[in-house]
Amino acid sequence: MTIFPAIDLRGGRVVRLTEGRFDQEKSYGDDPLAVARGFADAGATWLHVVDLDGAKDPAKRQTALVARLVRASGLRIQTGGGIRTAAHVEALLARGAERVVIGSLAVTKPLLVARWLEKFGSEKLTLALDARADARGTFHLATAGWQETSALTAADLLVRFLPHGLRHVLCTDISRDGKLTGPNFALYAGLRARFPALQLQASGGVAALDDLRQLKSAHLAGAIIGRALYENRFTLAEALACA
């Protein structure tokens, strides 16, 4: 299982949001390059970067900063936020990003994203499933910075993209994001059972090393860790050892 330490960028700073809410921000410093180098020094091979400015306004995407993170850290970077056009994808790949994360657009413009999968290849795109449970416990996909909820479920979307070569998927239970309440193991188990060929990454809620051990036992391909690292619940070296 790959460990993805996470850096969320807002105004050039390292922050974390709770449930994706911009009014629930906590800052963890103004030097993302130093944070990335620290992750590399601890033994990480991958870095997950979210451009929050880009997610809110694609015109304010921090592509140049992502490029500096690539150069400064030497890590393989998976990044997203405000991706609306093929040119956005190309710009990040040209600047050294290993994979580009596509979220809302996969829900709102699936035919476009399907063409991107075929154009760029399955190793260059990661589909982000941001899920919110309804009153019956059914998880529907959120869009527009998690402000809107569609009628689609995660399974609906995955079935749609499998014929186009989809391989990498990350899934977030929005209710657990930034809360250190533990991952939604049942959600991931259900997706793994139905889509065993996909490389599924857990995102949101990791709070303890036992969470990582359980995710590995459930055969998750990756785990994205943010707040637990910044608040010293465990070290990155300990997390890597679990994986």
- Interval 76-124: pLDDT, tens: 999 998 899 999 999 999 999 999 999 989 999 999 999 999 999 999 9
Which residues have a Cβ under 8 Å from the Cβ of 68 and sit 6 or more positions away?
33
Which is more confident, 158 or 139?
A: 158
**H-helix or E-strand spanning residue 232:** none
Residue 148: band (very low, low, confident or very high) from pLDDT cuts 50, 70, 90:
low
Q: Which CATH class is domain 2-242?
A: alpha beta
Instruction: Return the pLDDT at 27.
Output: 81
Q: pLDDT tens-digit profile of 114-132?
A: 999 999 999 999 999 988 8
Count of residues in the chain:
243
pTM reported for the whole predicted model: 0.94
Q: pLDDT tens-digit profile of 29-88?
A: 889 999 999 999 999 999 999 998 988 888 888 999 999 999 999 999 999 988 999 999
Which residues have a Cβ under 8 Å from the Cβ of 106 and sit 6 or more positions away?
113, 127, 128, 157, 161
Contact 8, 17 (CB under 8 A): yes
Question: What residue ranges do the domains of the chain occupy?
Answer: 2-242
Instruction: Return the pLDDT at 139.
Output: 81
Q: How far apart are CA 104 and CA 111, in angstroms?
A: 13
Instruction: Return the pLDDT at 19.
Output: 53
Q: How far apart are CA 97 and CA 16, in angstroms?
A: 21
Task: Provide mean pLDDT across the span 188-217.
Answer: 96
Instruction: Return the pLDDT at 22.
Output: 64
Q: pLDDT tens-digit profile of 20-32?
A: 566 666 788 889 9
Instruction: Return the pLDDT at 97.
Output: 98
Please identify every residue annotated as catalytic: 8, 130
